[in-house]
Structure formats: C-alpha cells, structure tokens
Amino acid sequence: MKERKVFDLEDRLLDFSVRVITVAGSLPTNKVGNHISGQLIRSGTSSAPNYGEAQSAESRADFM
C-alpha cells in the first residue's frame, strides 16, 4: 500500500518567506539594494498569507 504524502504547502511557504527575508537582509545597504530588498520582501512574503486566506474561503465569491 502506498503511503499518502502530506501536502505541506503552508509550511513550505513560511520557510520560503524566511529565506526571502534572509536573502533581502544580505543585500547591500545602498539605494539600489534597499529598493530591491523592499520589493523582494513584499513579493516573497505575500504568498503565505494569500494561501491562508484562500484556505479559509467559504464560497466561490470569496475568491473574487
């Protein structure tokens, strides 16, 4: 009998967010580095909360 693999997307998204923050923190602290860092943090950390919100949706209308 095959073992069923657990779908751990939420945990993986949180781990990804932590890695994004680590990478952003390692960028140089100049004008370009600060800009890229801010963009990277905003885009790289938004996946986990968006996934959590989608998981709690109760109907099709909640997605729109």
Of all residues in the chain, what percent are helix, strand and coil, respectively (each to 5)? 70, 0, 30
Residue-wise pLDDT for 1-32, tens only, equals 566 666 789 899 999 999 999 999 999 999 99
- Please tell me the predicted confidence (pLDDT) of residue 54: 83
Domain enclosing residue 42, as ranges: 9-51
Q: Residue 43, Cβ neighbours under 10 Å: how many?
A: 10
Give the global pTM. 0.75
Mean pLDDT calculated for residue range 37-61:
88
Would 26 be classed as within a structural domain? yes
Would 57 be classed as within a structural domain? no
Mean pLDDT over the full length of the chain = 87
Give the count of domains, the chain: 1
Would 3 be classed as within a structural domain? no
Would 4 be classed as within a structural domain? no
Encoding tokens for residue 20? 């994004």
Would 25 be classed as within a structural domain? yes
- Please tell me the predicted confidence (pLDDT) of residue 57: 74
